[in-house]
Structure 1
Amino acid sequence: MSPRKPTGAAVLQPEVTQAITDAVLDELAEQGYGRLSMEAVAKRASVGKSALYRRWSSKQEMVTAVVSEFSVARADVEDTGSLRGDLLLTLEAFHEWITHPQFSRIFPDLVAEGARTVEQAERTRHAIGVPRRERAEAMLRRAIARGELPGDTDLEMAMDLLAAPMYWRLVVRQAPLGPDYLDRLADLFLRALGAKV
């Protein structure tokens, strides 16, 4: 979800937008979604509340836009030409995303908020889940086109499988990863999907 278009003669200054974005992430990490307020974000960013409302119409829209911008870009990985190469980059990017010092405190709170509020769950799914899954699906479709995965691969199941083990280990169990965890996870994924590599 992109920021609102300014009305009248208002011009959105990139440095102000960045200060607000940083403030939103800081407030989310420190206070959580439920206690975050537009007033606190404006104060932390050293701007008036009007600077926020020129960009977003509500707290919900602001949080969704900022977290989406932070999260979706981190799912962009280059095409290495092989499924295993793409898979390792994707797993590394996923690991960096959910262990980011700031975002690792935000993500569980957003998941919990989504469990409490259907509207917020839908916002998060559409702004973050859908575009991240589109990138994963593109990786899998490239592998099918190269003959590395069967043509009838269940893409929905494969995408769930891609994210679930690390999410479970790091977020739910809060267990550390061993030095070769990502390599072993990539190999497990390849075996589970019957990859030809």
Structure 2
Amino acid sequence: MAKDGSETDHTAEADPTAARRAPAGAAVLREDKTAAIRAAVFEELAAVGFARMSIEGIARRAGVGKTAVYRRWRSKLHLVLDVVSAVAAEGLPTPDTGSLQGDVRMLLEVAARALRHPMASQIIPDLLAEAARSPELAGALKAALHDSRQGVATAMVARAVERGEIPAGADGGLALDLLTGPLYWRLVVVRDELPGDYLDELSAAVVGALGGR
């Protein structure tokens, strides 16, 4: 750490003009350190859970000092909120395969791949439990796990209505529930493998529940 409070970057020593470009009196936050801290949050959450997670542990895992973390976030809650919000901002691509069943099948594949990830299967249940005690975290998780996906499901259903595959008035919210509920139950709660034809059968069931032929 430099005397002026900025994070030390040895490239500035090699290039004197780099130091002159830094804002006077302001801490220069290096992007590589920020990325390392964010990655460490996921690893620490998966390893010890939110309750036992500490700024010290995150800093150690990221290979930085505690000061580097506190310069960016004032508490572990705000750090997790930021990381969760960043995940929500990435969004989910809206499939357009030409049929509702094809779109549903693609979304199920994406969701299943995400839920199979070892970190996700550890982190999501832990954060959902913690959200019961933290309205701020509950709101961030709702945005990351529900709201950001709702628009995708609504657009998918609207296109299916336009194609005449399902009746007008089909509920995008119901579609999202049907898409994610069974997978979360099987992969995160029960922790069971999906049979080879499970996603195909679930796709057909979702289309049928929405009134598809």
Task: Report what 2:193 is aligned to.
Answer: 176
Q: TM-score, normalised by structure 1?
A: 0.85
Aligned with 1:90 (options 101, 107, 130): 107
Is residue 2:137 matched to residue 1:137? no
Amino acid of the residue matched to residue 21 of structure 1? R
- Measure, in 1, the Cα distance between the counterparts of 2:49 and 2:24: 30
Contact 2:95 2:156 (C-alpha < 8 Å) held by counterparts: no
Aligned with 1:162 (options 174, 179, 193): 179
Give the Å deviation of 1:195. Answer: 1.8
- Measure, in 2, the Cα distance between the counterparts of 1:189 and 1:195: 9
**Identical pairs, percent:** 47
1:144-196 deviation per Cα after TM superposition (whole angstroms, max 9, x unaligned): 23332221112222221121111112222222210111011001111111124
SS for the counterpart of 2:188 is: helix
Question: Where does the alignment leave 5 or more consecutive residues of structure 2 unmatched?
Answer: 1-22
Q: TM-score, normalised by structure 2?
A: 0.79
Task: Report what 2:38 is aligned to.
Answer: 21
Equivalence map 1:1-197=2 (5 Å): 9-70=26-87, 73=90, 75-196=92-213
Contact 1:29 1:105 (C-alpha < 8 Å) held by counterparts: yes
Contact 2:153 2:173 (C-alpha < 8 Å) held by counterparts: no
Amino acid of the residue matched to residue 199 of structure 2? L
Structure showing greater relative contact order (alpha-carbon pairs closer than 8 Å, 6 or more residues apart): 1
- Measure, in 2, the Cα distance between the counterparts of 1:95 and 1:161: 13
CA RMSD of aligned residues (A): 2.4
The size of the alignment, in residue pairs, is: 191
Question: Where does the alignment leave 5 or more consecutive residues of structure 1 unmatched?
Answer: 1-5
Larger radius of gyration, structure 1 or 2?
Answer: 2
Task: Report what 2:7 is aligned to.
Answer: none
Amino acid of the residue matched to residue 46 of structure 2? A
In terms of mean alpha carbon deviation, does 141-150 or 90-99 score higher?
141-150
Give the Å deviation of 1:73. Answer: 3.6
Contact 1:74 1:93 (C-alpha < 8 Å) held by counterparts: no
Runs of 4+ in 1 over 6 A off after TM superposition: none
Cα 1:143/1:42, change in 2 over 3 Å: same
Give the Å deviation of 1:71. Answer: 5.8
Amino acid of the residue matched to residue 80 of structure 1? T
Cα 1:130/1:54, change in 2 over 3 Å: farther
Amino acid of the residue matched to residue 86 of structure 2? E
Give the Å deviation of 1:8. Answer: 5.6
Cα 1:126/1:135, change in 2 over 3 Å: same
SS for the counterpart of 2:132 is: helix
